[in-house]
C-alpha cells in the first residue's frame, strides 16, 4: 500500500446471473435506451463511446453518465454520477447469456451528491441490484 491518502476503497458490487436468452437479446436490454428503461431507469443513453447521457433517478433527479467502454455484445461501462462506474459484462453460453453487473467506485471516505455516505448507500444498492438484475431476467426471458 504505502500511500497515505484517506481512500478507503469498498468492494465493487458484483452480481452474476445466467439468463435464458441469447446474448444479442440481453445486449439490446442493457445497451439501448429502451432496453435500459425497461428494467432500470428512464434515460437518454446512446451506445457511443464518450456519449454523455442521464439516468432519470426519480426523486434524485437526473444522474449524469458517460460511456467509457463499449465492446458489443460483451461489455459496456459508463461513469455514473461523480464517483461510480457501472459495467455490464455478457458472455454467450449456447443460447443463454452469463450476465455480470459490476458497480464500482465505492469509497468509505466519500459521500454521494446527495450527502449519503458510500458505505450506507452501498448496502442499499447491493440489495437493490438483486431486484434489478431479477427484473432484467424477467424482461429478457419473457
Of 88 and 59, more confident? 88
pLDDT > 90? residue 5: no
Provide the sign of the torsion angle of the four alpha carbons 45, 131, 10, 111, taken in this order: positive
Average the pLDDT over 84-105 and give the result: 97
Average the pLDDT over 38-63 and give the result: 94
Average the pLDDT over 104-127 and give the result: 92
Burial grade of 86 (CB within 10 A; 0-12, 13-18, 19 or more): buried
Provide the sign of the torsion angle of the four alpha carbons 141, 123, 62, 109, taken in this order: negative
With bands split at pLDDT 50, 70 and 90, how would you rate the model's confidence at 114?
A: confident
pLDDT > 90? residue 92: yes
pLDDT > 50? residue 111: yes
**Three-class DSSP category at 43:** strand
What percent of the chain has pLDDT above 70?
A: 96
CA gap 4, 83 in Å, rounded: 20
pLDDT of 2: 45
Three cell numbers, residue 48? 457511443
Tell me what the pLDDT averaged over the chain comes to. Answer: 93
pTM of the model: 0.91
**Three-class DSSP category at 96:** strand
Element counts in the chain: helices (H) and strands (E):
3, 6
pLDDT > 70? residue 6: no
- For the beta carbon of residue 10, count every other beta carbon within 10 angstroms: 16
With bands split at pLDDT 50, 70 and 90, how would you rate the model's confidence at 8?
A: confident
Residue 137's closest CA among 17, 6, 7, 54? 17
DSSP state of 102: E
Amino acid at each position: 500500500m504505502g500511500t497515505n491518502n484517506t481512500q478507503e476503497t469498498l468492494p465493487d458490487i458484483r452480481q452474476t446471473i445466467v439468463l435464458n436468452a441469447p446474448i444479442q437479446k440481453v445486449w439490446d436490454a442493457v445497451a439501448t435506451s429502451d432496453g435500459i428503461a425497461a428494467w432500470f431507469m428512464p434515460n437518454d443513453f446512446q451506445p457511443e463511446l464518450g456519449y454523455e447521457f442521464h439516468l432519470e433517478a426519480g426523486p434524485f433527479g437526473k444522474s449524469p453518465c458517460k460511456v467509457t467502454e463499449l465492446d458489443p455484445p460483451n461489455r459496456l461501462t459508463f461513469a455514473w454520477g461523480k464517483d461510480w462506474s457501472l459495467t455490464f459484462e455478457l458472455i454467450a453460453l449456447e443460447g443463454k447469456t452469463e450476465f455480470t453487473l459490476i458497480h464500482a467506485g465505492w469509497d468509505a471516505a466519500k459521500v454521494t451528491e446527495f450527502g449519503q455516505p458510500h458505505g450506507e448507500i452501498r448496502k442499499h444498492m447491493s440489495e437493490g441490484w438483486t431486484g434489478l438484475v431479477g427484473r432484467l431476467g424477467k424482461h429478457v426471458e419473457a
